[in-house]
Structure 1
Amino acid sequence: MSQSNTRHTPGSTDWMDSDNGSRRRYSRTGLSSSVSPNLRLQRLRSGLNQEVFAHVSRVRPTRRVTLYARTQPGQDPEPLFAGLRAEAALHGWQVGQEIFDDGGHQVPQQSSEWLRVRKLCHEGLADGVLVRDRMQISADDFLYENEIRFLHARQCFTALQIPEAAP
């Protein structure tokens, strides 16, 4: 008769009990976490920005930022820009251009003014973009994440005056 290679340990070793004892939840896309989407996006943006800020340019030691504001048609963007200018000054960033879009909330790729921001970053004329909050870029999580990843791929940062996870 052969010997068993199984070791017996004290206590419950039932694999179903140990798996079911955790508080993991599964969704269509796999394992989900209890982190809110806004907090996840804030952590992602912060991590991407840290990589960009770690690089110090010899050509332009002061970071040049583009201010972007999205307003409703007929709304004056100046109050938004005043707050953004103050935020840029707090960080020691040079304001390159101020771009506003009065088309209301729309998909970023359908906004000619947002496409100008992307072009400035792509061509190296801006080191990043500063907006009031994430809704200035997109209310849609997927589209917002695509935009911050696009900017990061061009070694540009995305700064928010009001972080994603702010109450």
Structure 2
Amino acid sequence: MNTLLTTPSPSAPARRGTLHTVGRTLLPTLTGSGWPAGRAARLRDVREADVDRTLKQLAAVGTPVRVGRYTLIEPGQDPAERLAQTQAVVTRRRWEAAVVTWDSTGMTDPALRPQLARLFTAICHGEIHGIVAASRTDISAFDEVYESTLAAIRARGGFLTLARSETTF
């Protein structure tokens, strides 16, 4: 298991279809050296609204923010550098990192990544409130998949925050 720190309760096994996936082949939406500005800004606004909503709810009841730190790496790659970026966010925001994990599947469908599914389950069980990733590519380089994953996290009452903006790699 790709875990550095675990929560006390066991997580449910990953199941196909845990996340909403797009049922067609997607072409990358990258152009030039970055993401299309308008779409990236809209996705950033959606993601940040989810963060703000959850943080306001937690502050209203005096609950500290617990998150799962997550990154996606290629097989054989060391996750330490990307996880350090997520730790910087957690430290700066004074959140608690309850889970630190990664998937080494490379750019696969988020619904098929066992550790990302584990974080979704942790959100559902109230063990964490959100996920901190280094960049949006830890979720998906494809706009439609990224957007549907944000919706799936939101539907579970959680949020995604990034160390780097949607417009950077």
**Where on the TM-score scale, by shorter chain, does this alignment land: which range?**
0.7 to 0.9
1:151 positional shift: 1.4
Q: Which deviations, in whole Å up to 9, do the C-alpha atoms of 1:129-167 show, x marking residues without a partner?
A: 000010101111111111111212222111000011348
- Counterpart of 1:147, as a letter, is T
The structure 2 residue matched to 1:121, chosen from 98, 108, 123, is 123
Unaligned 5+ runs, structure 1 = 1-33
Structure 1 counterpart of 2:41: 39
Structure 2 counterpart of 1:108: 110
Q: Secondary structure at 2:58's aligned position in 1? A: coil
Structure 1 position 87 matched with structure 2 position 63: no
Q: How many residues align?
A: 134
Identity among equivalent pairs (%) = 25
Larger Rg: 1
1:35 positional shift: 5.9
1:99 and 1:44 map into 2 onto residues whose CA distance is: 24
Does the CA-based 8 Å contact 1:62-1:92 persist in structure 2? no
Q: Which deviations, in whole Å up to 9, do the C-alpha atoms of 1:44-74 show, x marking residues without a partner?
A: 1112222112112677722011000111111
- With CA pairs under 8 Å and 6+ residues apart, which has the higher RCO, 1 or 2? 2
Does the CA-based 8 Å contact 2:74-2:105 persist in structure 1? yes
Relative to the length of structure 1, the TM-score reads 0.73
Does the CA-based 8 Å contact 1:130-1:159 persist in structure 2? yes
- Counterpart of 1:48, as a letter, is D
Relative to the length of structure 2, the TM-score reads 0.73
1:144–1:161 Cα change, 3 Å: same
Aligned-residue CA RMSD in angstroms?
Answer: 1.9
Structure 2 counterpart of 1:23: none
Unaligned 5+ runs, structure 2 = 1-35
2:58 and 2:113 map into 1 onto residues whose CA distance is: 31
Does the CA-based 8 Å contact 1:52-1:152 persist in structure 2? no
